[in-house]
Structure 1
């Protein structure tokens, strides 16, 4: 069977122990902490030290450091509905629960050998983790971190026997569903957690889906394809119609450049009826019409784009880049489709995050050991924070956004 409920129970004592460990106060003590909400808090991943910084976006302030989170070389974060807890997905298969208010590690489980991100369900009850080794998805109770469901990514291999695929592009979807892609099997699966018995739907997709996104309205799941120029799209309102291909052959007849880092589609941009995608193997941002998903334009940029992100007001598109030209950010005007400014936040820019209403963007520069905060109106830096090899930046506003 592909579904196994309550396979593993975690020891309550271990969870209590984790709540007492892993906190470095940075000069703060529990007694001195003022009461605060969580709406302007967030986490910055320090990838080399297995730690995260708890930050306040309003005050540009580091509140504390939480340690003991394992391998964070490719880490992401989702949040509980109230924004108090961040669930950190580490590359070593670790799922860590961080309490932003007490700045402590509230729980941790190593659930696989190699994982690549996760998601939290629409109702906040379940946290799902996408795994490379062994291939598949595991779903945990968000409160206790007890295993609820295991979904091995089993498919028919080239020799006709069973094989396991790496799973990628895991997102949450309306209806308490999770959607993810199977890189080796060329498939997209949906996992419905709304009923007592979870249901899986398996659909054929394009060649080697490597990452995916869900549109802000939760309707379309779009997987980027490493094996071909194009994307696979699933209309979740009409999933019985199967997966369709969009932007086919966008690089046909062109010389494909080396890919030093795969683009991240989860940070894609939708603005003014258009979608902005990073092109794989090309120094371009692609523009598609969201009415029929046809390719409408291409924007030349200075390198291979990794993140292509729209500001909350949809007026700007911020683009980061892969090695070796990864020390800059380019800002695109969504109306004119022109690059209006090139910024230099530091060496090895890895991630960007807008504040909830978009007045600022926080940018991490790993090899400069700093995070720079930019004003989105003036495009000038307004603050800098020190961090140890910072990478992902995740604000609690994500708690109220589908697919993040």
Structure 2
């Protein structure tokens, strides 16, 4: 359905095109925190006060989905506050003058209840959500004077926006609204002109970076993890928790092309933890949450045949000639976090079942090595560089204050660098002698470690905002500057000279999380996550 085919909007939908799904922000909370509430009473209140925007199904309309899968990580004290007071810079009103504290607790209790049944979300349902400017032509040239390859996006999660920054002057070129709770890094078209983001609610948004204009959005799932774009830029893959599917979209039009039901060889269904592009292999690689398999899906015009099958549980229009055959590789343990070598011949996977990471040879489809990585490594944030005549990978750990450095030839541990607490993100650049690693968890969350890539020693510990979370470094195209987030509602992006480690400037922002430089991402630079 084209946007021109749609009926007139209701009173709750009379907003700009960019607000197809208005951002009614709720803070995330442990579901058990509301067990004392009266869920039945909460449902009646929800139907009266919330369903117009969030729908009676709780699957979202002009407001986001309010189901356990999207509320699981919310903090309890914030949930009742947002219901009571609303949220500035969004369409979420406050209900404090209408509802009592007990009423608000009851609504929260209802929202913690799982849905009675998993709703259908196939080709028809996805297509019905599509709102796209089919008459829009992407800009032939940038509408700004900055280097388009040195543009950096800063995701601001406090009010669901993205700031578009000039990577040389650090001026803000634009700031656009996104769906609620963007998750996973934005993905750029191979030429860097277009960018795609996905929300936890499964909304995929397409934005023309050169024209600074949103082109459209579609809801590819009900609870999504991340997206990947194919090597040729023609296809988007959306990893879904709910339903347990992988949705493939036409990147040009955002029309759904395939909905692949994810089931293991024995028929066990699985959520998709993440999907990655493997450029040299012209494929998508899937991390699966519930089954000990790794899936590879070919995006090639002429895919290999040996070991690849055309799954019968695939929904899509018959006229589409691209079949996206699937290769299912059995592994010993469930691997839900991946790292790839630069050639994408080896996949390193972490498992919650063991403190050993596995090395999977994607060419032969077999596990070939084991790595000693205790403390739950965050492989998705790992980086590589050349060191003493070999290539090493380095990864932070989610449960222990250390960074592991691994020789990628022998798969042996070179060193464990002790840090001031568990970390989440690590970044570097080919032109920089340093790697930057945050301490995202615990009392030292205001720390950013700078590590010499030759000596493997911490050479400086930065505390740019004492008491506030400091995280996620990104470099400019040339590696001369490093951008760091103060991850707070009244936060900022701090720009550092990447050589002297001196602060250059601060850009005030609303809880900035990740930053993503166009050049670094489209070239799959060694210092950034892929």
TM over 0.5: yes
- TM-superposed deviation, 1:19: 6.9
- TM-superposed deviation, 1:8: 7.7
Asked if 1:246 is matched to 2:370, the reply is yes
Which whole-Å CA distance do the structure 1 matches of 2:396 and 2:162 have between them? 28
Query: What does 1:177-326 align with in structure 2 at a 5 Å threshold?
Result: 177-195=283-301, 196-236=322-362, 238-240=363-365, 242-248=366-372, 250-251=373-374, 263=378, 265-272=380-387, 273-313=391-431, 315-324=433-442, 325-326=444-445
- TM-superposed deviation, 1:48: 2.2
Distance verdict in 2 for CA 1:328–1:13, change over 3 Å? closer
Q: Secondary structure at the match of 1:39?
A: helix
Give the one of 40, 62, 83 matched to 2:150.
40
- Indicate if the aligned counterparts of 2:146 and 2:166 stay in contact, CA closer than 8 A: no
Asked if 1:155 is matched to 2:264, the reply is yes
Q: What residue is the counterpart of 1:101 in the other structure?
A: 210
- Indicate if the aligned counterparts of 2:126 and 2:221 stay in contact, CA closer than 8 A: no
- Indicate if the aligned counterparts of 1:7 and 1:149 stay in contact, CA closer than 8 A: no
- TM-superposed deviation, 1:17: 8.3
- TM-superposed deviation, 1:204: 2.1
- Indicate if the aligned counterparts of 1:130 and 1:167 stay in contact, CA closer than 8 A: yes
Could you list the per-position Cα deviations for residues 107-138 of structure 1 after superposition, in whole angstroms to 9, with x for gaps in the alignment?
11111111111211111111111111122321
- Indicate if the aligned counterparts of 2:146 and 2:168 stay in contact, CA closer than 8 A: no
Asked if 1:359 is matched to 2:480, the reply is yes
Q: Highest relative contact order (Cα 8 Å, sep 6+), 1 or 2?
A: 1
Which whole-Å CA distance do the structure 1 matches of 2:446 and 2:249 have between them? 38
Which whole-Å CA distance do the structure 1 matches of 2:437 and 2:487 have between them? 17
- Indicate if the aligned counterparts of 1:18 and 1:107 stay in contact, CA closer than 8 A: no
- Indicate if the aligned counterparts of 1:169 and 1:223 stay in contact, CA closer than 8 A: no
Aligned residues: 373
Structure 1 or 2: more helix by fraction:
2
- TM-superposed deviation, 1:65: 0.9
Could you list the per-position Cα deviations for residues 202-261 of structure 1 after superposition, in whole angstroms to 9, with x for gaps in the alignment?
11234342321222222222222222112222223x233x1334214x44xxxx6xx8xx
Q: Secondary structure at the match of 1:171?
A: strand
- Indicate if the aligned counterparts of 1:230 and 1:245 stay in contact, CA closer than 8 A: no
Structure 1 or 2: more strand by fraction:
1
Show structure 2 runs of 5+ residues with no match: 1-121, 302-321
Show structure 1 runs of 5+ residues with no match: 21-31
Q: Secondary structure at the match of 2:133?
A: helix
Distance verdict in 2 for CA 1:102–1:11, change over 3 Å? farther
Which whole-Å CA distance do the structure 2 matches of 1:63 and 1:148 have between them? 34
- Indicate if the aligned counterparts of 1:45 and 1:72 stay in contact, CA closer than 8 A: no
Task: Report the TM-score when normalising by structure 2.
Answer: 0.65
- Indicate if the aligned counterparts of 2:407 and 2:413 stay in contact, CA closer than 8 A: yes
Task: Report the TM-score when normalising by structure 1.
Answer: 0.84
- Indicate if the aligned counterparts of 1:271 and 1:310 stay in contact, CA closer than 8 A: no
Give the one of 494, 511, 523 matched to 1:389.
511
Asked if 1:176 is matched to 2:286, the reply is no
Could you list the per-position Cα deviations for residues 26-49 of structure 1 after superposition, in whole angstroms to 9, with x for gaps in the alignment?
xxxxxx954555111121111121
Distance verdict in 2 for CA 1:82–1:11, change over 3 Å? farther
Distance verdict in 2 for CA 1:226–1:239, change over 3 Å? same
**Structure with max Cα Rg:** 2
Q: Secondary structure at the match of 2:131?
A: helix
Q: What residue is the counterpart of 1:145 in the other structure?
A: 254
Could you list the per-position Cα deviations for residues 15-71 of structure 1 after superposition, in whole angstroms to 9, with x for gaps in the alignment?
128979xxxxxxxxxxx954555111121111121211111111111111111x222
- Indicate if the aligned counterparts of 1:94 and 1:109 stay in contact, CA closer than 8 A: yes
